[in-house]
Amino acid sequence: TSAASPAAAPAAAAAAGSKAPYCAQAPSSMVGSALKLPAGRQVTSLDGPVSVCAYLGKYEILVRFQVGENTSEFSQSRTSLVSLHQSVSGVGGLGDQAYFATAGSGQRASNTLAALKGTIAIFVTAPTPLATERSLMAQLLAKL
Burial string for 97-121 (b: 16+ CB within 10 Å, else e) reads bbbbbbbeeeeeebbbbbbbbeebb
The model's pTM is 0.84
CB 121 within 8 A of CB 69: yes
DSSP per residue, 70-104: -HHHHHHHHHHHHHTT-EEEE--SSSSEEEEEEES
**pLDDT, one tens digit for every residue, the chain (144 residues):** 333 333 333 333 333 344 578 999 999 999 999 999 999 999 999 999 999 999 999 999 999 999 999 999 999 999 999 888 889 999 999 999 999 999 887 777 889 999 999 999 999 999 999 999 999 999 999 999
